[in-house]
Chains A and B, each alone.
Chain A
Amino acid sequence: MRTRHLLWMVLTCAAIAGCHARPPSAASESRDLCLAEPDGGAPVDDAIRHTQGQARKLPTEPHSWSLVGQGWVRKARMTTDPGFYVNVRACAEAALVVAPNNRAALQLRGLALMNDHRFEEARGVADDILSREPNDALTLGVQSDALLELGRFDEAAAASQRMVDVHPDMASYSRAAYFRWLEGDTDHAKLFMRYALNGRDIQDREPTAWTFVQAATMYWNEGDYEGADAVLAEALKWAPDYAPALVGRGRVAISLKRPQQAIDYLDKAYAKSPLPETAWLLGDAREMVGDHAGAAKEYARVLRDGRATDRLTLGLFLATKGLEPEEALRLIDTERKTRGGVYLDDAYAWALYRTGRIGDARTASDQALRLGTRDARLLYHAGAIRLAAGDVQGRDLIRQALRLNPRFDWTASNEASRMLADATLSLAR
């Protein structure tokens, strides 16, 4: 009996030692948003519910919140609904209340910041993690993405290279492919894309679908429309009704002058993920079939949604269509305060061109071409700007653009053809 008394004391002490003053529990709102019902019956929803159950049981364990957040990231990607990043951010904050330096939670915060277009803050978070864990592949990815968005190409490429060195897989190779493509090295870009796709995982289909979409975009940019369409069809096998793949097929169908087919794809894509870019393409497709009222409706959507959330797309849309040039310039100029990169430089150059500021447009266009990106839009814009500045080399750039991707944009490629014909005529005179 004495032994039992001793045991009793030991066990009771141990049980009490199992308690400690309660650490701060996750802030109520973050917790509630993290634990929100995912409203769906897909495997990703079941996974979220499962991890939410763990988080309820272990609210003081930061890891349990991070796992829920990772589930929300997957849902956001699968559904192409960025709104679920609100839940991601909530899970990150819930975990960080419990453990302020938790790496998984900081990574989630970084992803949420990227989604919010708070690139500088996302980079800061990534730098912070990497100062402690220099070889963390996921964080290197966030850092690379943030630096690229900020227009710091060389540093972004270096982070991407480190990511490949540390963790050569689909994620790192697809990033490497994109960097190569931006630099105009399309052969290596395709090679890396193949490496990336070698790592496809049947259990996790969306990343593979996304990588196929990226690969298809490379083919499309080279004017290989049939090839691009085949790759996009493959993407849809991996993730049926995947909006980015549907948008890609819509774009390809426009290039192939099959507007009705494009409308079918884009309507479906817009229903799933109503982005200004999709509305723009839909408007173009409707214009092609002569549905001017329908096109106007789509273009109105671009204006409405672009004003709220996507200044770059709206600015480029206005500049491409030759509408409200000052407004286009203002939108893009505002965007330049928070990000950079060759595509933003190109949009800025084109907006300046539309407002008649050819000198500034030329400077911006040079910046847009600095990496040697083989994108017909960039080349056309650069060519038009050079022609406007009296530089006949512009003609070669426009020709190069049309040779590379003859129907890169319904409005712009027609405009480019006309411009090239005019330039050739005036040169002949």
Chain B
Amino acid sequence: MPRCHWRVELVGIAVVLATLLVPGVAHAHAVGTSRGEYALQGRTLTVRLLFARAELVSLLPELDGDRDGSVSDRELRAAWPGLTDAIVARITFDAAAGTCRGTLQDAALEEGDGLSIGAAYLCTSDPQTLAATLGFLDLLPHGHRHLAAVAAGASGNTGRSVAPGIAYIGHAQLTITGTASNGLWAAMGLGRQAGRVFRLGVTRVLTEPDHLVFLIALLLVGGRSRSLLFALMAFAVGHAITLALSAIGGLSPIAALVGPAIALSVAYVGAENWFVTSADGRWLVAFPFGLTHGLGFAGSLQQMPLAPSQMPLALATLTGGAEAGQIAVVLVALPLVLLCRRLCCQQPRVADRVLKAASAVIAVVGLWWFVNRIV
């Protein structure tokens, strides 16, 4: 649930500012960056790498054999064996892949100061997933970063690359999943991935106090089970609608408004508990507040590398997780509220006062969050 921790952030900025302001640590050299695209189809892994020429020259001085500061096509052709040894042969794989023999397919000078290398690896087995070690990184200068993108999508249907990773010395492992499967979900195992999204939904509900407090406030007022159920369902439906809209509908919450609005919803329900005696008709309030709370989940799916075709399933799973979390809250909180009422059944005034006091606390907490989020 998005909240604008402006105060915390301002403190963070103040601390970080001190670091940023001090003259830089002497990074006397510029950082080199290379890129790689990796696509595994069947037994063949194709790799396209793009380097800055200066970095490869430092690795293979023969690329600039005449020492004129530039790489010519002739020098590049002459350096093929060196490129094979320094780059192609230094990408190695785990034993599960059997033996994968790599060959340099092409090397070309690219626009600017780029130099691209194409290589293909033929493996003896038919791996679903390859664990590669990019050993060439050991030869590149300190600070070098390799941006690796693994192609996904059935036989290149989408041409989309997922989960670009960043590899560098000491972190040179790369997991490459075969493109025979359909995208990340299939690649990682549908069940496992769905479980991950489901857990995300549950966790988001259970770790966000304003969500929990709102649900408890709804329950505190008591009343007929059917009315309570209606209110909870209306909240869940509203929540699911905006979650879906924000995930696939091209809508996005205004973060600065949503956080305070959620806080106000908590304060409102806490305050309203003083004036209502049952949950009858409360769905009318729970539904729009559900819409507001759902906006708080907007960022959840954006962190996951999902193809558009995978979005409905992910959304359904995330919503299912969120609702499961809410049910868990209800299952814990409702018996406690009922127990409280039962214990005080001889003295309904006491029960009323206890619940009103709790509602007042909730209202104050909601107002506190509201102020905190707008200051």
Chain A residues near B (Cβ < 8 Å): 1, 4-5, 7-8, 11-12, 14-23, 25, 28-29, 32-33, 35-36, 39, 47, 51, 54, 56-61, 63, 67, 70-71, 73-74, 76-77, 80-83, 85-87, 104, 107, 111, 114-117, 137-138, 141, 145, 167, 169-172, 174-175, 178, 201, 203-204, 206-207, 210-211, 214, 244, 273-277, 304-310, 312-313, 327, 330, 334
Contact = CB atoms under 8 A, between A and B. Distances in A.
B164 A33 contact: yes
A210 B142 contact: no
Interface in B30-88: 30-33, 54-55, 57-59, 61, 67, 69
Contact of B253 (A19, A39, A71): A19
Nearest to B52: A308
Interface string B247-278: 00011111111100100000000000000000
A82 B164 contact: no
B375 interface: no
Contact of B168 (A17, A32, A83, A306): A83
A56 B9 contact: no
B331 interface: no
Contacts of A138: 17, 20-21
Given A19-B251, A83-B31, A86-B145, 17 more contacts: A8-B288, A15-B242, A18-B253, A18-B254, A19-B245, A19-B253, A22-B252, A25-B252, A57-B2, A58-B299, A83-B143, A104-B13, A170-B18, A171-B21, A244-B25, A274-B141, A330-B69
Please indicate which of the listed interface residues B23, B30, B171, B242 has the most CB atoms of chain A within 10 Å of its own CB.
B23
Contacts of B238: 15
B141 A309 contact: yes
B309 interface: no
Nearest to B160: A28
A114 B23 CA distance: 11
B295 A15 contact: yes
B186 to A, nearest CB: 20
Nearest to A324: B67
Interface stretch (B101-109, B223-231, B279-287, B313-321): B279-287
A82 B251 contact: no
Contacts of A310: 28-29
A398 B300 CA distance: 66
Top 4 A-B pairs, shortest CB-CB distance: A171-B21, A309-B29, A308-B58, A11-B288
A39 B170 CA distance: 10
B339 to A, nearest CB: 30
Contact of A82 (B29, B165, B257, B299): B29
A143 to B, nearest CB: 12
Contacts of A137: 17, 21
A385 to B, nearest CB: 24
A187 to B, nearest CB: 20
Contact of B285 (A7, A308, A313, A330): A7
B69 A334 contact: yes
Give the interface SS of chain B, mostly helix, strand, loop or mixed.
mixed
Contacts of B258: 18
A114 B284 contact: no
A415 B242 CA distance: 76
Contacts of B89: none
A67 B168 contact: no
B303 interface: yes
Interface residues of B, number: 78
Given A308-B54, A309-B55, A310-B28, A145 B23 contact: yes
Contacts of B28: 275-277, 310, 312-313
A397 B164 CA distance: 56
A51 B13 CA distance: 11
B35 to A, nearest CB: 10
A35 B373 CA distance: 24
Contacts of B255: 58, 60-61
Contact of A305 (B58, B289, B295, B296): B58
Contacts of A4: 281, 284-285
Contacts of A80: 25, 27
20 contacts: A8-B284, A8-B287, A14-B261, A25-B252, A32-B163, A61-B2, A67-B16, A73-B20, A83-B144, A104-B13, A115-B30, A116-B30, A141-B23, A169-B18, A201-B18, A207-B21, A210-B23, A211-B22, A305-B141, A309-B55
Contacts of A273: 142
B142 A35 contact: no
Contacts of B168: 83
Contact of A15 (B67, B288, B302): B288
A327 B31 contact: no
B360 interface: no
B5 interface: yes
B299 A57 contact: yes
B26 interface: yes
Interface in B202-261: 238, 242, 245-246, 250-258, 261
B112 interface: no
Contacts of A61: 2, 4, 255-256
Contacts of A73: 16, 19-20
A86 B31 contact: yes
B26 A18 contact: no
B147 interface: yes
B292 interface: yes
A167 B303 CA distance: 38
Given A7-B284, A8-B288, A56 B303 contact: yes
Nearest to A13: B288
Nearest to B256: A61
A175 B25 contact: no
B166 interface: yes
Contact of B24 (A20, A54, A114, A306): A114
A125 to B, nearest CB: 14
A347 to B, nearest CB: 12
Interface string B287-329: 1110110011011101101000000000000000000000000
B69 A5 contact: no
Contact of B23 (A11, A25, A117, A178): A178
A218 to B, nearest CB: 14
B250 A22 contact: yes
B21 A308 contact: no
A21 B26 CA distance: 44
B19 A87 contact: no
B22 A171 contact: yes
A174 B22 contact: yes
A59 B302 contact: yes
B19 A77 contact: yes
Given A11-B289, A15-B242, A174-B23, A82 B250 contact: no
A13 to B, nearest CB: 8
Contacts of A76: 25, 27
A250 to B, nearest CB: 14
A114 B21 CA distance: 13
Given A169-B21, A327-B67, A85 B31 contact: yes
Interface centre among A1, A54, A82 (most CB of B within 10 A): A82
B1 interface: yes
B58 A304 contact: yes
Contact of B142 (A57, A70, A81, A201): A81
